Amino acid sequence: MTARVRAGVLVSGGGTNLQALIDACAAPGFPAEIAVVISNVAEAFALERARKAGIATAVIDHKAFPSRDEFEAALVARLREHRADLVCLAGFMRLLGGTFLRQFPSRVLNIHPALLPAFPGLHGPRQALDYGVKIAGCTVHLVDEGTDTGPVVAQAAVPVLADDDEAKLAARILAEEHRLYPLALRWVAEGRLTIEGRKARVEAPPVAEGLSLRNPGR
């Protein structure tokens, strides 16, 4: 049996995407495992989810560091301690710069609640409603130094309905996030991802997976 890819997961909040990753990693044959969950917020419920699953946790509060570089160096040190091969941002609400990203080149994934490049930054679902688009969704992308600008790995779409408010639309998108993130992590862990310029290319996902995001074949 080949060793599973070790993912470090960074969180700031409730951690429903973390839960989706924990559940996926628990399935036999899934090619990744979660090495450590790190939160910049001590009260984040995501930490409870990790503890319940028996996963190592750490709190690294950005406010305790005089600079972003020092905060990022502390994150990197903790990830290395747990031998993380790659990093998944799952509702991690801090921007990461070169000090961090240079340590994990093309190995940092993020999930964003909008169809990038539309509606980057905060409040993706609200931005979609305010604009009046009829299709919304979520994106898993590689992280670069911009705000939600890195190569797109996978996307899933949902309709925007006439009576949607922000909460309804965000919940519909979140349900898709929970399917999409494990699927993207699987692809990366299986080594199917190559970077061509600013594009991420996924090598030959099985047709059933690629066509039906509702059935990520966990």
Q: Is 90 in the site for ligand GAR (CB under 6 A)?
A: yes
**Residue 90 beta carbon to ligand GAR: minimum distance, rounded to whole angstroms:** 5
Taking CB under 6 A as the criterion, the residue among 8, 15, 150, 216 binding ligand GAR is 15
- Cα separation of 197 and 154, whole Å? 17
The pairing of strands 199-202 and 193-196 is antiparallel
Q: Is 164 in the site for ligand GAR (CB under 6 A)?
A: no
Closer residue to ligand GAR, CB minimum distance, 90 or 153: 90
Closer residue to ligand GAR, CB minimum distance, 51 or 201: 51
**Residue 211 beta carbon to ligand GAR: minimum distance, rounded to whole angstroms:** 23
Residue 141 known to be catalytic: no
Q: Alpha carbon of 36 to those of 143, 159, 165, 171: distances in Å?
A: 19, 35, 35, 27
Taking CB under 6 A as the criterion, the residue among 32, 47, 87, 91 binding ligand GAR is 91
Closer residue to ligand GAR, CB minimum distance, 77 or 137: 137
Q: Is 168 in the site for ligand GAR (CB under 6 A)?
A: no
- Cα separation of 48 and 26, whole Å? 17
Q: Is 174 in the site for ligand GAR (CB under 6 A)?
A: yes
Which amino acid would we find at residue 34?
I
Residue 105's CB is within 10 A of a number of other CB atoms, namely 9
DSSP state of 145: S
Closest residue to ligand GAR: CB criterion: 91
Q: Where are the alpha helices (DSSP H) in the chain?
A: 16-26, 45-52, 68-81, 98-101, 124-131, 166-189, 207-211
Closer residue to ligand GAR, CB minimum distance, 107 or 141: 141
- Cα separation of 150 and 106, whole Å? 9
Q: Alpha carbon of 121 to those of 50, 116, 199, 213: distances in Å?
A: 26, 10, 20, 24
Q: Is 17 in the site for ligand GAR (CB under 6 A)?
A: yes
Of 126-155, binders to ligand GAR (CB under 6 A) are: none
Determine which one of 62, 82, 112, 123 is catalytic. 112
The pairing of strands 32-39 and 135-142 is unpaired
Number of amino acids touching ligand GAR (CB under 6 A): 14
Stretch that binds ligand GAR, among 8-16, 57-65, 153-161, 190-198 (CB under 6 A): 8-16
Could you give the residue numbers annotated as active site? 112
Where along the sequence are the contacts to ligand GAR (CB under 6 A)?
A: 13-17, 46, 90-91, 111-113, 124, 174, 177
